[in-house]
Chain A
Amino acid sequence: MAPRDVVLEVEHLSMRFGGLVAVNDLSFSAARGDITALIGPNGAGKTTVFNCITGFYKPTSGRITMSLGGPAEPNDVAALTASGNRAMRTARGQLFLLERMPDYEITARAKVARTFQNIRLFPGMTVLENLIVAQHNALMIASGYTVKGLFGFGSYQRAEADAVALARSWLDRLGLTARADDAAGALAYGDQRRLEIARAMCTGPELLCLDEPAAGLNPRESSELKDFIRSIARDHGTSVLLIEHDMSVVMEISDKVVVLEYGIKIADGSPEAVRNDPKVIAAYLGVEDDAVAEAEAEIAQ
């Protein structure tokens, strides 16, 4: 078997809020083009991991390596870590240490995009505008950082037309083209969820982090969402990192599942392996009666 092409490597990640340890010494990796699921009971620290990866939190300790273009060489990672820089060019592509980068740069340069557990669209802007804002950095360069665009010089018109075309292609896939000029806040809940994913994809990410995309969807919408996420990974080659409570979604589309409980990783492997792991079953369903009796006996001794 060829060595796994890892796009995201999380090593010894810890996040403390005062005395509370939300994530404790977590290590896992996500392979390029795979769908990796992060599951666990409520309060296990899944969203905290997301916030660390996407720069919304500065982790207390640990290293998060994002590698574009191919697997990272351990030597390169070590050299980058020692140099104190945020990013370096390697023979294959680029390497980023996400824990050193501010949030917007993680999206703009390291190509990690995310969605939110509670939908964060721009409700007062139209559906189309939401998708255009996502292409901000490319358009900003095309408009000569506003100067050229203001006076109508340069290629801004063409760049904007391209941006609209990209947005249009996503709207066609979502079946939302007819709603393009409506306020995003006026869309149905399920459409808002899918639009948020499309908006994240419009930033051109290599890794897409989805925080509970199926929350609040009915079974039909949830099954459509599965196909949508799968097509993102297959057709675009975008790796997906997924937090999800809906086990039917997780087990069906994930290539790999990482299970967290109280900020600690308790299992990591294929969906089948994780489903049958006694620790995972215990975390989700509680332990069996004889196990409780054993534990009580141990304490009594």
Chain B
Amino acid sequence: MSAPASTLTIPGAVRDALKVGLITLGLSIPILAVRTDQNLSNQIVLLPRWGLVASAVGIAIAVRLAYLLLAAVRQARGGALIGSLGVRLPAQAGTMFARAAVVFLFLYPVIALSLAGTGGAVKWIDNFGIQILIFIMLGWGLNIVVGLAGLLDLGYVAFYAVGAYTTALLGKTFGLSFWLCLPLAGILAAFWGIILGFPVLRLRGDYLAIVTLAFGEIIRLVLINWVPVTNGYAGITGIPRPSFFGVPFNASDQGFSAVFGLPFSPLYRTVFLFYLILLLALLTNWVTLRLRRLPVGRAWEALREDEIACRALGINTTSTKLTAFAIGAGFGGFAGSFFAARQGFISPESFTFMESAVILAIVVLGGMGSQVGVAIAAVLMIGGTEILRELDWMKEIFGSGFDPTQYRMLLFGLAMVLIMVWRPRGLVSTREPSIFLSERRAVSGAHVREGHG
């Protein structure tokens, strides 16, 4: 490819990219378009692979276009370093983006339905929508502990597990409905957050991380070994599913479809669960944003910046740390409760250290303390791994035995390394001040501390 022209216009870039696409098309017709194979009577047959050609051309155009645009951005900055490639937007851009994202999320099931039809939409709403939203919520919950209070927690999945098992056990043993289990799960998880908080109050940095890691493992091992209660590895099945104001989602006469005179479809439950987790995630966000502007939230951030200075200002750091642990854990518990009710089945397999690592990676990648950054990181990381399941066309290139999902962790790690090289403080590295006198100005990430535990 030639170097981009010194003055670059959008139509020029598109034209350039289309040329590249044309060249790729020319190259790929003889190389990729047809594959020879043997049929049962040992004759050579030609298998057309036009889908592969189309994707190759598409990728070539997209890569060329991205390359040209990035080069233009770099040029506009006077040949600045690659590290400054990140978009620097005005202060309102974040809020506008967030609003647009929320509107999009509310319309998402409708969009998915109209694009993918009733059959395909379940996958897009469930695997992508709900799964990503669960991790956005977990990321926001952990963001309180790690991003705001600066306490490195490697065992966050423990609270997710506490929430899930609370819902499962209370629902199965006492027949409590999901709507009763949800707050109980949050409260119990918050309680366990405080239990974890007490012994680690005096620990900082690496030591804190190790103890929280151990705490997560303890919870998981208890779930595995306390067989009479948790049923061990086999897990718990038949967890009560959430109902729509008392109307269950099933094929019976009292079911949602029958009551509203609709043909039965599992889609209603999925859409309902989507909106439920969307509201739970938005609640998490609302509470977090609100707490940031209250004294307790400012104390968390002050704690992250300098614990000794906090004590000199009369802030009780013990209760400040415990509230951070408790509230962060509480949201993890809510998410766990939702997870149990959505799956209908849980086992310790779902609460491994890997999950903690993914949630922490989302927080770090997003930019510690940034709500928007965490949400974007969750979309990239969880959506990215789900997308890998959709890449069946890669089998055309690498053979039918190739399963892109097996490269999940490899790509994950690679993406982490790349993003940390480009944006060492996460996708959104600036900090929004919680109050301002004359003008809201984002605080540069260079000044913000990461906390020492």
Question: Contact residues of A with B, CB < 8 Å?
Answer: 54, 56, 103-108, 113-116, 120-126, 128-129, 132-134, 136-137, 139-140, 143, 146, 149-150, 156, 160, 164, 168, 171, 177, 180-186, 199-200, 203
Contacts and interface: CB of A to CB of B under 8 A. Distances in A.
B302 A125 contact: yes
B302 A182 contact: no
12 contacts: A54-B312, A103-B311, A107-B312, A116-B312, A122-B305, A124-B443, A124-B448, A136-B302, A143-B294, A146-B294, A181-B433, A181-B439
B443 A128 contact: no
Nearest to B304: A124
Contacts of B437: 128, 164, 168, 171, 177, 180-181
Contact of B433 (A107, A126, A186): A126
B295 A124 contact: no
Contacts of B446: 185
B441 A122 contact: no
A113 B433 CA distance: 25
Contact of A140 (B295, B440, B441, B449): B295
Contact of B311 (A56, A132, A182, A199): A56
Interface stretch (B196-204, B314-322, B412-420): B314-322
B291 interface: yes
Nearest to A109: B314
Contact of A124 (B309, B439, B447): B447
A42 B429 CA distance: 41
A123 B305 contact: yes
Residue with the greatest number of chain A CB neighbours at <10 A, chosen from B296, B308, B443 = B443
Interface string B281-300: 00000010011001110110
A120 B314 contact: no
B151 to A, nearest CB: 16
A128 B437 CA distance: 7
Given A116-B309, A122-B302, A140 B435 contact: no
Nearest to A55: B311
B381 to A, nearest CB: 25
Nearest to B316: A104
A108 B314 contact: yes
Residue with the greatest number of chain A CB neighbours at <10 A, chosen from B287, B315, B439, B444 = B315
B305 A183 contact: no
Interface in B255-305: 287, 290-291, 294-296, 298-299, 301-302, 304-305
B398 interface: no
Interface of B: 287, 290-291, 294-296, 298-299, 301-302, 304-306, 308-317, 323, 431, 433-441, 443-444, 446-449
Contacts of B294: 139, 143, 146, 149-150, 156
B311 to A, nearest CB: 5
Contacts of B447: 123-124, 183-186
A122 B436 contact: no
6 closest residue pairs by CB, A with B: A124-B448, A107-B314, A108-B314, A185-B447, A122-B305, A120-B309
Given A104-B316, A129-B433, 17 more contacts: A56-B308, A104-B317, A105-B314, A107-B312, A107-B314, A122-B305, A124-B301, A124-B431, A125-B443, A126-B436, A136-B299, A136-B302, A139-B295, A140-B295, A181-B441, A182-B441, A203-B313
A199 B433 contact: no
Contact of B296 (A116, A123, A140): A140
A176 to B, nearest CB: 11
A120 B306 contact: yes
Nearest to B439: A181
B134 to A, nearest CB: 24
A131 to B, nearest CB: 10
Contacts of A150: 287, 290-291, 294
A259 B315 CA distance: 32
A14 B351 CA distance: 52
Contacts of B314: 104-108, 136-137, 203
A234 B56 CA distance: 78
A197 to B, nearest CB: 12
B425 to A, nearest CB: 11
B313 A107 contact: yes
Nearest to B315: A136
A125 B311 contact: no
B150 to A, nearest CB: 10
A134 B312 CA distance: 9
Contacts of A186: 444, 447
A106 B313 CA distance: 9
A181 B436 contact: yes
B60 to A, nearest CB: 43
Nearest to A167: B437
A128 B435 contact: yes
Contacts of B290: 149-150
Contacts of A113: 312-313
A133 B306 contact: no
A146 B296 contact: yes
A56 to B, nearest CB: 7
Contact of B443 (A136, A183, A199): A183
A171 B437 CA distance: 11
Given A126-B433, A129-B434, A136-B295, A120 B302 contact: no
Contacts of A129: 298, 301, 433-435
B299 A133 contact: yes
Contacts of B301: 122, 124-125, 129
B435 A164 contact: yes
Contacts of A203: 313-314
A183 B294 CA distance: 19
Contact of B315 (A104, A116, A199): A104
Contacts of A105: 314
Contacts of A123: 305, 447-449
B294 to A, nearest CB: 5
Contacts of B449: 123-124
Residue with the greatest number of chain B CB neighbours at <10 A, chosen from A105, A128, A164, A181 = A181
